[in-house]
């Protein structure tokens, strides 16, 4: 196992679930939902835990739920 593979396997991830409809929310928030890889209600996306992802989640915190 190389060093980069070891770091990739120990990298933390975060699961995000879309729990509320995107209807009547600002367009920039719809783009944030799409950037997180979410589409329909109850869709789940597993992403690498990074400051950029956390910023997107914080922006649309009323639309998503973070799962362990």
Number of domains in the chain: 1
Q: How far apart are CA 68 and CA 28, in angstroms?
A: 26
The two tokens of residue 6 are 């070891």
d(CA 32, CA 12): 21
In the prediction, which pLDDT does 33 show? 97
**How many residues can be counted in the chain?**
68
Query: From CA 18, how far away is CA 40, in angstroms rounded?
Result: 7
Instruction: Name the residue with tokens 């190389």.
Output: 2
> Can you give the CATH number for the domain in which 34 is found?
3.30.1390.20
How far is Cα of residue 35 from the mean position of the Cα atoms in its chain?
A: 8
- pLDDT number for residue 4: 60
- pLDDT per residue, tens digit, the chain (68 aa), is 556 665 555 689 999 999 999 999 999 999 999 999 999 999 999 999 999 999 999 999 999 999 97
Residue-number span of the structural domain to which 49 is assigned:
20-67
């Amino acid at each position: 196992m190389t060093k980069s593979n070891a770091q990739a396997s120990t990298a933390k991830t975060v699961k995000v679930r879309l729990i509320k409809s995107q209807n009547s929310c600002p367009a920039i928030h719809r783009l944030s939902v799409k950037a997180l890889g979410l589409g329909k209600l109850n869709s789940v996306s597993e992403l690498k835990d990074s400051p950029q992802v956390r910023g997107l989640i914080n922006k649309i915190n009323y639309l998503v739920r973070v799962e362990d």
